[in-house]
Structure 1
């Protein structure tokens, strides 16, 4: 794992040790080669190895290095887009299949945590999507209606209930989703790695795939130190994709997201902020997220990169936000900061690709990686093992389509977030200027 403190921040200092891995040396043979040791790749490897397959995971950096080790740690159900938009985009059958899969995905995460005794600070008290103003409350009421029509255990809270559960009177209401919760995200990724190894998988870190070619009826993946021959290849690299599948990177824009954590709150303060231990975020276009870790640190997050001019701007935003939402904790010092990349697709929906015979991938998680990544990893395992066919998948097989004006989008995301956070400092109020970061 990198020694840069802004890479994984608090999660790197509080996670249990990573599994014992080493770079690939020489030639190896497997039934399935998995590229990427994040949630999707490790879930696929775990489920395949438990079924008896020979699995080799190739990771260019370390277990959980990408978005899996840097995110907020909200184990959410569903997608960013509202439920009714999913069947409208994918068709009724696949759309409802995807919603059912991702609605149950947090349960899969927490079941794996329990089954494999993963020490990742799992909290199953739900999440709070907090409404800003009347528009935000109307949006959440619509989401609640759509999920409730599908039998989901979600409930719209009024302002008083939202204040009781968050500890702040800043919100006009909130959507409580009982399916969801929080984890220490890097600890969960490392736990999946330990579980996959225990099930019989091999994991090679420091082993970026630099080439892939057909080798008779099989595939040969080349790394700087060796190669793996496999019948199937699962590509699970998402926002951190490099060669040899540049088409994944071409279809997603990088949205930067940062987190800044306080020192552990005192016992008295801890009881006044998120007393039920839910994770939370709001309905603002450039959102604010907040949650507690097991030691009582308050982790604040938003869109932006902690580099260049953004570092000072976003630190100042975090201090103002802490004082605004939780004035009782206004003077608590910050002790960690970090940021990473979210892979955004054009329509905020994930993708399934078949790059060649027996070479498959899910990508484009749009900020919802923990539960979907875990669930999609199991789906890929089922596909490779022949338990399902492509007709049974929750997404259609599509060709990667390069995202138009990708560089401009990424520039706008990063600079736009700085502009919004600066504007809030000069013109504080209940609303924020709109940016593409929604």
Structure 2
């Protein structure tokens, strides 16, 4: 059972093969990172007639793009008003608008390029656990409504009817959202970018970056990529010469587990509306179906060492708690990865030098924001969008202090919390 890409590797569409970078390659723009941000930027640039080359250290979708739960969400975990407090009204409202429209960008790209990725745009349910959770979704709904966004507040009875679960005190329905097969989406973006003219190289780690005259040189094991512009989109999986971007984030482990396909009568009894749900618990649960009727649950935690049995046992208990009407379930796949957390929990753009930009910091919402930020970076590079029109100011690199200690503490802490929840019943 794969511990990294699990179900997604098993069910993804076959990816287009790409070569390893070898020898000297010249381009107008060099992109590092084969996730949503880098691929979205490569597609946008290639469609604009820019000579763009992208390198990926492993394979397309190796990082968070191939490991997440597959929810295409609008906005971030932090509420809209928090974004405004951090960035001010000028940038804050612009970022809120960008992220609110990001799911539409994802689903439009899927439709326009014929990407086969199990896309379902039926919305998601943000489900309240207890009185505190109810207050949270009510406030989130109020903040979206104040900005003219229609989100539907569901009472507990309707929430139970939609989800098939008695666990929740209410829910907030966001029709902008949906689900995809995340690895298939990444592979589809790569194929679309290649058809548009982008050159893509895999198994090509950026070992060293060098500024020479007015051009950047990116050195790999077997080759060198030279370009006038450099875009780094490695996120929290950055390797080699991209360590500075990695050092700006704290990795929070996140796992998923998938059941075998449920029998028709079981499937009809849970997630009745077909919509994925995310709850408001401190240790969140995200639950959805894939197209084959597998029930997938995601939460914080890493499936290694003692964490593996703890988190998988917790996931089985959570599904039983949410859906007592179906038989105890086993898992056919379980896998984990990491969410890159920034200090302010917001995405951003960072200057790495002259004509060198980094994007990232999606804080567990990588699909829609990553796609949107990749497109924004491409438009900025070609001059279609000026710096003053971006949804975030372009900052300077930061380093998170005591990063390794904090990551170890987080991994151990979520395991203890899942275990304690079991002990307390």
Same fold (TM over 0.5): yes
| Correspondence 1:357 to 2:348 | no
- Shift in Å, 1:329: 2.9
Contact 1:265/1:332 (8 A) holds in 2: no
Report the aligned-residue RMSD: 1.0
- Shift in Å, 1:370: 0.2
Match of 1:147 in 2: 144
> 1:87-126, aligned counterparts within 5 Å?
87-126=84-123
Q: Which blocks of at least 5 consecutive residues in structure 2 are unaligned?
A: none
- Shift in Å, 1:109: 0.2
Contact 1:167/1:272 (8 A) holds in 2: yes
Tell me which of 313, 318, 324 is aligned to 1:316. 313
- Shift in Å, 1:400: 2.1
Contact 2:245/2:358 (8 A) holds in 1: no
Distance in 2 (CA, whole Å) between partners of 1:268 and 1:157 is: 25
Distance in 1 (CA, whole Å) between partners of 2:254 and 2:347 is: 19
Tell me which of 28, 32, 36 is aligned to 2:25. 28
Match of 2:345 in 1: 348
- Shift in Å, 1:271: 1.2
The alignment of Structure 1 onto Structure 2 pairs a total of residues equal to 425
Contact 1:153/1:179 (8 A) holds in 2: no
| Correspondence 1:245 to 2:242 | yes
Using the TM superposition, name which of 8-17 and 78-87 deviates more.
78-87
Contact 1:322/1:329 (8 A) holds in 2: no
- Shift in Å, 1:245: 2.9
Match of 1:394 in 2: 391
Distance in 1 (CA, whole Å) between partners of 2:86 and 2:40 is: 27
User: Helix, strand or coil for the counterpart of 1:11?
Assistant: helix
Match of 1:218 in 2: 215
- Shift in Å, 1:86: 1.0
Q: TM-score, normalised by structure 1?
A: 0.95
Distance in 2 (CA, whole Å) between partners of 1:390 and 1:245 is: 23
Match of 1:64 in 2: 61
> 1:3-18, aligned counterparts within 5 Å?
5-18=2-15
- Shift in Å, 1:388: 1.1
Deviation sequence 1:120-179 (CA, Å, 0-9, x none): 000101111110000100011000000011111211111111111111010001111011
Contact 1:322/1:330 (8 A) holds in 2: no
Distance in 2 (CA, whole Å) between partners of 1:299 and 1:29 is: 43
Contact 1:32/1:54 (8 A) holds in 2: yes
- Shift in Å, 1:404: 2.8
- Shift in Å, 1:216: 2.0
- Shift in Å, 1:246: 2.1
- Shift in Å, 1:242: 1.9
Distance in 2 (CA, whole Å) between partners of 1:19 and 1:55 is: 18
| Correspondence 1:306 to 2:284 | no
User: Helix, strand or coil for the counterpart of 2:319?
Assistant: helix
Match of 1:183 in 2: 180
Q: TM-score, normalised by structure 2?
A: 0.98
User: Helix, strand or coil for the counterpart of 1:89?
Assistant: helix
